């Protein structure tokens, strides 16, 4: 009857079960989890004194108060050669989730490696491509081959011939340790500029528009979501992408459950008003409709035309200014008044009369003046008694991956400054985050000059374009990401990368005309270097936990350890809370942590340079022969400046500064963690975290917020949008591609579903990628939920399941950005912001064709109910 085997009992950990602290491997929220491991056959009993949890399992637990323990939180692993139970449950001790958890994190235990479960698909051994298949080799062989090719290419063509696309984040087993190691390898040992970050074509911050104002994007703390008078979600569907943060904290505030906390933090006599939410998103997302189901009168939903958010942010700011609701005291004391003039002229456009300004804004953005003014009121109109309204603005990919990335982020960051919403309880303006963070890289020792935005020596090179089209690119590393799914304009990208990698594969197999390929890493490396000289080939090294789509074109595949298989450390986004995600089991087969892999390649290069007497180059490859994860963590801390500074100087510390923190400390504080940047108190010598940033000053030399005047704009779409979009408005393309297309996530899976694809629930719920289409458009095209459609444009095409609901407005379709093997990034354009090289994933134009027939199993097993109706 059931679609897959279910359980009706799970084993209970005994009192002497091993217990570990960990943090969820998935999203930005960083829920705390407790891990219990014990040998099979040694279960605890149901009475509180018979088990490690102290729970009375002879009784039904009480909702919300009780500990959630569900089927998915248990698995059986092999540890020390013996079967062990593992139970991974949401921690009641974590201030972040307090026992709450998401549909993703609830399955953490299912992702543990087991030879008898679907996770047996994990990569077990290093593999090299021989002919048209992959064959296992030892680490020594694989490392020697890579080191020889990298060294040979670097010596012949220079360091920029080595390109990479690498994870840069926390979670998924990759925290500060892996990020430091990969940084040291590419910045120092190799010294290439051709770097790109896992989800985009260049090596850049997604939010230079805020950072260059003197504000790091992670500046608030989760408590601010409990204290705010108004919460703004801008391009952030937090119910689905920061699930527990939304329900545990934002909703608690919205439902009035945090009044007592407000009484403690608010000023004397300050009113506590019913909390409001402003959500800016073209779709009626679940984040909108959940809040509306609670109290529609306190929810404002603005639906700007795609790409017009920076104009909308400036328009709200202008309305604030016109009404006199800006925070004059804050502007005068905390911000730079010289650059403020530029902001007033270019962003607020004070030279244009208000009525005329608003007419233009309405035309371009599609948002009414009344709604813009209402947003201004909810964000900034002082409360009774003249108290400043406390507004927390949280933004994410909807605006990051938008048209004019730099200006959009700057406009939102400046709206917060204009209204005095930094550094006080219940305020802040920053990212929601996608994944967690663990960024530490040796910028001070980098041999390549890494650049910032166009205002800081940039923009950085587009490495996607480089590996596609520039034959100087010879070696390409891809680690912890699958750009065949995730990069913009993916259809063209994979075609080109395939052509280039295949050119080398072909050359290798044509060795001596008909014989086999060269044997042994030395001979093979020689032949590869020869092939790279004679063809337009590209040598591709893929490092991952599983086989990936891009892996099919690799020449070497290296198996990486995952979450729980090495100790690692990272911070969450809503509070910058640093904790340890400890090791509780071993990696599968011969898989190794990323830091170990990078260290080994560098060390082998060092030996090769030493052997030829090049001690200068050898020096740059040294110091990476780490033995433990903590050695890497402590090595990374060397990059941070002296943090023995007073509280007000936290503004000048790198956001993720953890200098002084050790694994011992993190294991001691457990789920409590410590909020970065960490200081060493000059008086006491104790480690101190930073709860909320920029209370005293901003991160600029004079401590003042720096303003910026955004680009001029024209209300005519033909003149407003870039050529990548306006090409769809002309030459008959407006008829062929009548819909706007935007994309995003579902909370059911994490990223490409690299783990989720092995879980039965996810496979049934998400059998193929889907699009959402408004009932008005669906009726015109004769499409109903469950139909298969082809979505196409001048960039590429995809097949998707149609879901008819009112989330997208008429004239716009939404697509899941990618699933495990299919990518809707086939439809995204190659536009990047000329100021930052950040792509605009969130808009293109498409046509839709209904395909014949349907998939019977999908209609039978997959729910097609509207996922944004909570009434």
Query: Which residues lie near another protein (CB under 8 A)?
Result: 1-12, 40-43, 46, 57-64, 66, 68-73, 76, 83, 99-107, 114, 116-117, 120, 239, 243-244, 247, 251, 286, 290, 293, 747-748, 761, 764-765, 860-863, 865, 867-870
Nearer to another protein, 703 or 767 (CB): 767
Contact criterion met (CB below 8 Å) for 621 and 658: no
Residue for token digits 């698909």?
Answer: 121
Using omega within 30 degrees of 0 as the cis cutoff, is the peptide bond preceding 677 cis?
A: yes
Tell me how many degrees the CA angle 270-272-273 measures, rounded to the nearest 5.
125
Nearer to another protein, 151 or 762 (CB): 762
Contact criterion met (CB below 8 Å) for 260 and 467: no
In the complex, what is the shortest distance from the CB of residue 50 to another protein, in angstroms, rounded to a whole number?
Answer: 11
Structure tokens at 261: 């906390």
Nearer to another protein, 60 or 297 (CB): 60
In the complex, what is the shortest distance from the CB of residue 28 to another protein, in angstroms, rounded to a whole number?
Answer: 16
Nearer to another protein, 175 or 564 (CB): 564
In the complex, what is the shortest distance from the CB of residue 42 to another protein, in angstroms, rounded to a whole number?
Answer: 7
Nearer to another protein, 105 or 173 (CB): 105
In the complex, what is the shortest distance from the CB of residue 4 to another protein, in angstroms, rounded to a whole number?
Answer: 6
The total number of residues written for the chain in this structure? 871
Q: Which residues 6+ apart lie within 8 Å of 315 measured at CB?
A: 357, 358, 361, 365, 367, 372
Q: Is 430 helix (H, G, I), strand (E, B) or coil?
A: strand
Nearer to another protein, 511 or 870 (CB): 870
Nearer to another protein, 49 or 58 (CB): 58
Quote the CA–CA distance of 88 and 69 in Å, as a whole number. 8
Quote the CA–CA distance of 68 and 89 in Å, as a whole number. 7
Nearer to another protein, 107 or 487 (CB): 107
In the complex, what is the shortest distance from the CB of residue 156 to another protein, in angstroms, rounded to a whole number?
Answer: 48
Contact criterion met (CB below 8 Å) for 500 and 537: yes
In the complex, what is the shortest distance from the CB of residue 761 to another protein, in angstroms, rounded to a whole number?
Answer: 6
For the sheet containing 577-581, what is the strand order? Answer: 568-571, 577-581, 674-675
Q: Which residues 6+ apart lie within 8 Å of 337 measured at CB?
A: 331
Quote the CA–CA distance of 378 and 348 in Å, as a whole number. 19
Q: In DSSP terms, which residues pair with 276 in a beta bridge? A: 230
Quote the CA–CA distance of 335 and 418 in Å, as a whole number. 9
Contact criterion met (CB below 8 Å) for 557 and 123: yes
**Would you put residue 500 in left (φ > 0), alpha (ψ -120 to 50) or beta?**
alpha
For the sheet containing 133-136, what is the strand order? Answer: 133-136, 127-130, 556-559, 539-544, 475-479, 162-166, 195-197
In the complex, what is the shortest distance from the CB of residue 768 to another protein, in angstroms, rounded to a whole number?
Answer: 15
In the complex, what is the shortest distance from the CB of residue 603 to another protein, in angstroms, rounded to a whole number?
Answer: 38
H helices present in 72-138, as ranges: none
Nearer to another protein, 257 or 337 (CB): 257
Nearer to another protein, 156 or 255 (CB): 255
Quote the CA–CA distance of 203 and 323 in Å, as a whole number. 41
Nearer to another protein, 352 or 859 (CB): 859
Structure tokens at 571: 């911070």
Measuring CA to CA, how many Å separate 771 from each of 587, 728, 733, 746, 813? 37, 20, 21, 11, 7
Nearer to another protein, 293 or 337 (CB): 293
Structure tokens at 443: 């910028």
Name the nearest CA neighbour of 406 among 705, 28, 708: 708
In the complex, what is the shortest distance from the CB of residue 621 to another protein, in angstroms, rounded to a whole number?
Answer: 43
3-state secondary structure 269-324: CCCCCCCEEEEECCCCCHHHHHHHHHHHHHEEEECCCCCCHHHHHHHHHHHHHHHC
In the complex, what is the shortest distance from the CB of residue 247 to another protein, in angstroms, rounded to a whole number?
Answer: 4
Quote the CA–CA distance of 838 and 833 in Å, as a whole number. 5
In the complex, what is the shortest distance from the CB of residue 255 to another protein, in angstroms, rounded to a whole number?
Answer: 11
Nearer to another protein, 212 or 756 (CB): 756
**Would you put residue 126 in left (φ > 0), alpha (ψ -120 to 50) or beta?**
beta
In the complex, what is the shortest distance from the CB of residue 40 to another protein, in angstroms, rounded to a whole number?
Answer: 5
Name the nearest CA neighbour of 741 among 799, 828, 822, 832: 828
In the complex, what is the shortest distance from the CB of residue 784 to another protein, in angstroms, rounded to a whole number?
Answer: 15
Quote the CA–CA distance of 316 and 380 in Å, as a whole number. 10
Name the nearest CA neighbour of 231 among 375, 118, 77, 73: 375
Nearer to another protein, 630 or 761 (CB): 761
Interior/surface letters 694-733, b for 16+ CB within 10 angstroms, e for the rest: bbebbbbeebbbbbbbbeebeeeeeebbbebbeebeeeeb
Quote the CA–CA distance of 461 and 469 in Å, as a whole number. 13
Measuring CA to CA, how many Å separate 180 from each of 66, 183, 231, 443? 40, 5, 35, 10
In the complex, what is the shortest distance from the CB of residue 244 to another protein, in angstroms, rounded to a whole number?
Answer: 8
In the complex, what is the shortest distance from the CB of residue 73 to another protein, in angstroms, rounded to a whole number?
Answer: 8
In the complex, what is the shortest distance from the CB of residue 777 to another protein, in angstroms, rounded to a whole number?
Answer: 22
Quote the CA–CA distance of 319 and 361 in Å, as a whole number. 11
Nearer to another protein, 114 or 204 (CB): 114
In the complex, what is the shortest distance from the CB of residue 820 to another protein, in angstroms, rounded to a whole number?
Answer: 18
In the complex, what is the shortest distance from the CB of residue 64 to another protein, in angstroms, rounded to a whole number?
Answer: 5
Nearer to another protein, 41 or 712 (CB): 41
Nearer to another protein, 719 or 860 (CB): 860
């Amino acid at each position: 009857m059931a679609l897959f085997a279910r359980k009706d009992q799970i084993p209970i950990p005994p009192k002497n079960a091993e217990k570990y602290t960990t943090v969820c491997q998935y999203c930005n929220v960083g829920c705390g989890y407790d891990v219990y491991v014990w040998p099979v056959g040694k279960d605890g009993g149901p009475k509180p004194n018979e088990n490690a949890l102290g729970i009375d399992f002879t009784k039904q637990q009480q909702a919300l108060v009780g500990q959630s323990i569900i089927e998915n939180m248990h698995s059986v692993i092999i540890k020390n050669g013996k079967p062990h139970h593992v139970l991974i449950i949401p921690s009641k001790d974590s201030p972040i989730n307090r026992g709450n958890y998401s549909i993703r994190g609830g399955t953490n235990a299912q992702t543990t490696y087991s030879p008898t479960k679907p996770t047996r698909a994990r990569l077990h051994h290093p593999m090299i491509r021989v002919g048209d298949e992959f064959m296992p080799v030892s680490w020594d062989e694989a490392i020697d081959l890579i080191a020889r090719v990298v060294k040979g290419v670097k010596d012949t063509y220079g360091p920029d011939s080595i390109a990479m696309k690498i994870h840069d984040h926390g979670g998924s087993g990759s925290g500060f340790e892996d990020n430091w190691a990969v940084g040291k390898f590419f910045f120092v040992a190799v010294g290439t500029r051709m770097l790109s970050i896992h989800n985009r074509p260049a090596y850049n911050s997604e939010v230079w528009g805020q950072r260059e104002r003197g504000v790091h994007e992670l500046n608030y703390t989760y408590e601010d979501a409990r204290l705010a008078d108004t919460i703004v979600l801008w391009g952030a569907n937090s119910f689905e992408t920061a699930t527990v943060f939304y329900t545990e904290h934002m909703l608690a505030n919205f439902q009035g459950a945090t009044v007592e906390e407000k009484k403690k933090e608010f000023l004397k006599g300050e009113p506590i008003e019913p909390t409001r939410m402003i959500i800016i998103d073209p779709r009626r997302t679940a984040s909108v409709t959940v809040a509306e189901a609670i109290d529609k009168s306190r929810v404002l939903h603005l639906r700007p035309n795609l790409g017009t958010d920076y104009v909308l942010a400036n328009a709200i700011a202008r309305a604030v200014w016109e009404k006199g609701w800006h925070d004059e005291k804050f502007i005068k004391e905390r911000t730079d008044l010289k650059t403020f003039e530029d902001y007033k002229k270019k962003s607020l456009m004070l030279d244009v009369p208000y009525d005329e300004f608003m007419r233009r804004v309405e035309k371009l953005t599609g948002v009414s003046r009344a709604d813009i003014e209402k947003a201004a009121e909810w964000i900034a109109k002082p409360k009774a008694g003249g108290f400043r309204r406390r507004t927390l603005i949280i933004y994410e990919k909807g605006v990051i991956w938008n048209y004019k990335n730099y200006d959009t982020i700057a406009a939102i960051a400046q709206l917060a400054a204009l209204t005095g919403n930094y550094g006080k309880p219940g305020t802040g303006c920053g990212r929601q985050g996608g994944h967690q963070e663990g960024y530490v890289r040796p910028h001070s020792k980098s041999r390549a000059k890494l650049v910032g935005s166009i205002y800081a020596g940039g923009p950085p090179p587009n490495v996607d374009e480089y590996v596609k089209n520039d034959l100087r690119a010879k070696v390409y590393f891809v680690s912890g990401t699958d750009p065949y799914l995730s990069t913009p304009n993916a259809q063209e990208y994979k075609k080109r990368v395939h052509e280039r990698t295949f050119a080398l594969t072909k050359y290798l197999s044509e060795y001596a005309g008909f014989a086999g390929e060269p044997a042994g890493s030395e001979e093979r490396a020689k032949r590869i270097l020869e092939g790279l000289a004679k063809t337009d080939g590209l040598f591709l090294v893929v490092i991952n936990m599983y086989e990936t789509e891009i892996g099919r074109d690799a020449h070497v595949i290296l198996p990486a350890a995952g979450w729980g298989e090495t100790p690692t450390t990272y911070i969450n986004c809503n509070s910058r809370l640093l904790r340890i995600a400890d090791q509780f089991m071993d990696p599968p087969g011969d898989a190794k942590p990323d830091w170990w892999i990078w260290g080994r390649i560098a060390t082998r290069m060092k030996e090769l340079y030493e052997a030829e007497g090049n001690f200068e180059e050898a020096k740059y490859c040294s110091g990476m022969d780490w033995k433990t994860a903590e050695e890497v963590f402590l090595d990374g801390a060397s990059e941070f400046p002296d943090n023995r500074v007073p509280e007000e100087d936290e503004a000048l510390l790198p956001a993720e500064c953890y200098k002084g923190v050790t694994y011992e400390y993190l294991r001691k504080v457990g789920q409590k963690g410590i909020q970065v940047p960490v200081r060493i108190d000059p008086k006491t010598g104790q480690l101190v975290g930073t709860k909320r940033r920029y209370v005293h000053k901003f991160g600029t030399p004079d401590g003042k917020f720096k303003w910026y005047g955004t680009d001029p704009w024209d209300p005519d779409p033909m003149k407003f949008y870039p050529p990548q979009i306006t090409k769809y408005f002309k030459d008959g393309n407006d008829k062929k591609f009548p819909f706007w297309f935007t994309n995003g996530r579902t909370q059911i899976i994490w990223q490409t579903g690299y783990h989720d694809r092995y879980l039965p629930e996810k496979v049934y719920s998400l059998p193929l990628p889907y699009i959402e289409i408004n009932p008005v458009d669906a009726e015109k095209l004769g499409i109903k939920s469950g139909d298969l459609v082809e979505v196409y444009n001048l960039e590429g095409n995809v097949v998707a399941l149609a879901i008819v609901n009112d989330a997208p407005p008429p004239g716009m379709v939404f697509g899941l950005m990618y699933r495990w093997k299919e990518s809707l990034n086939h439809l995204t354009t190659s536009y990047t912001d000329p100021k930052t090289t950040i792509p605009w994933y969130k808009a293109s134009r498409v046509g839709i064709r209904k395909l014949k027939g349907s998939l019977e199993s999908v209609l039978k097993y997959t729910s097609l109910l509207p996922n944004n109706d909570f009434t």
